[in-house]
Amino acid sequence: MKIYLDPPLKGEENMKRDLELLQRSGVEQEVFLRLYSWQRPTISLGYFQKPEKVLNFKALEKYRLDYVKRPTGGRAVFHFRELTYAIAIPNNYPNLPSGITQAYRFISEPIYKAFISLGLSVKWARQEKNATEACFLAPARHEIIFNGHKLVGSAQRRTANAVLQHGSILLEAQPDLFAECLLGIDKEAFIRQLRQRTMVIPVSAWDLKIQLAAEFRRLFQKERNS
C-alpha cells in the first residue's frame, strides 16, 4: 500500500490525482491512499450532475468559489475546511466485495475504526431518502454517523480493473454559503437540515490524518496477508 499526504490543491488537480490513482491501481495492482485538502472553497458535483441545473453561477462568482466535476457519482459537496480521503484498490484485491454497497462498507471500515480510536462512538447508518442535490443531507446505508449526524460524505467509481472511493470529513461547516450556490432549493430549510444532519468532528486534522493512515494500512496489510 502506498500513502500520499498531499498539500492543499485546487479542485481540478485534486480530482485529476484521484482519477490517476484509479488508473494506476488497475495497472500496477497496488492499493493507493491519498489524504488531502482544498486550496480554495470548491463545490464538487457528481459525475452525472449537470452544473447548469445545480449551481447558481452568479453566487459562485460573487463569493469567488470554484466548482469541479468528480469522477465518481453522488451529489454536490462543499469542500474547504475538511480532510478528504481517496483510496484506489484493484478489483481482484483479496476479500474486496464485488457489490457497491458491500465494497463501500469494506473500504469505510478503517474510517470507522479511526473515529473509534479518536473517542467518537460512531455507528453505521441505514439508508435514508435524499431528494436534494446535496450529498450530506442524508446518510446512505453503511455510511458513518455520530449521534444521528452524518460525518463522512463519500462516492465510488468502479472500472474494469479497479475501484476508487473518496469522501469528505468536515472540520468546519459553511451551510449558508453552500445554500447560496445551489439552484432550486428552499434555502432556509436546506441550511436547517444541514445543521441538524451533519456534524463537524471535534478532533484535529493532524490527529485524524495520522489515525486514518494507520487504520487503512492495518486493514490492507491484514487482507494482503490473509
The one-letter amino acid at 10: K
- Is 135 one of the annotated active-site residues of the chain? yes
DSSP state of 171: S
Catalytic residue among 89, 111, 125, 135: 135
- SS3 of 4-49: EECCCECHHHHHHHHHHHHHHHHHHCCCEEEEECECCCEEEECCCC
Q: Rounded distance, CA 85 to CA 215, Å?
A: 13
* DSSP codes of every residue in 68-125: EE-SS-S-BEEESSEEEEEEEEETT-TT--SSHHHHHHHHHHHHHHHHHHTT---EEP
Placement of cell 452525472 in the chain: 48
Q: Which residues belong to the active site? A: 135
